Amino acid sequence: MAQTAQIKCINKRYRDNPYERITHVGGYVTSQWKLTLDDAIGKIERGEWAFYVERPAGDTVWVEVAISRFGNKYLKTEADGDEPNNLLSLPECP
């Protein structure tokens, strides 16, 4: 059974570029954690972890692995279209 964790922050190489790929996701409960994008994708694909984000309205949306038209894997929420807006709106991880 997969463990669950809330993603509360992200890192991108160029924070203000909306087309730049997310490099890390992170969060905190009792301690801070941060994973590379590839690690997070692997944990989802292996069924080890299930990640979610909370939208401003308090809704929980699950994070899933998607594949771009160029064949690159990336993370997005179930509620997002082609762009991972729910993830991109999160603050920068320390």
Segments of the chain assigned E as strands: 3-6, 9-12, 22-28, 32-36, 49-54, 60-67, 73-77
Assigned domain for 69 exists: yes
Q: Could you report the per-residue pLDDT of 8-47, keeping only the tens digit for each?
A: 999 988 766 665 689 999 998 788 999 999 999 999 999 9
Q: What is the pLDDT of residue 7?
A: 96
Q: Could you report the per-residue pLDDT of 41-82, keeping only the tens digit for each?
A: 999 999 999 999 997 777 899 999 999 888 989 999 988 765
Q: What is the pLDDT of residue 55?
A: 77
The answer to whether residue 84 scores a pLDDT higher than 90 is no
**What total number of domains does the chain contain?**
1
Assigned domain for 93 exists: no
Alpha helices per DSSP H over 11-73 = 37-45
Question: Domain containing 51: what range?
Answer: 3-88
The answer to whether residue 93 scores a pLDDT higher than 90 is yes
**pLDDT confidence of 85, banded at 50, 70, 90?**
confident
Assigned domain for 24 exists: yes
Q: What is the pLDDT of residue 2?
A: 80
Assigned domain for 80 exists: yes
CA distance 34 to 8: 10
Q: What is the pLDDT of residue 88?
A: 85
Assigned domain for 94 exists: no
**CB–CB of 53/42 below 8 Å?**
no
Is residue 42 classed exposed, middle or buried when 0-12, 13-18 and 19+ CB atoms within 10 A define those classes?
A: middle
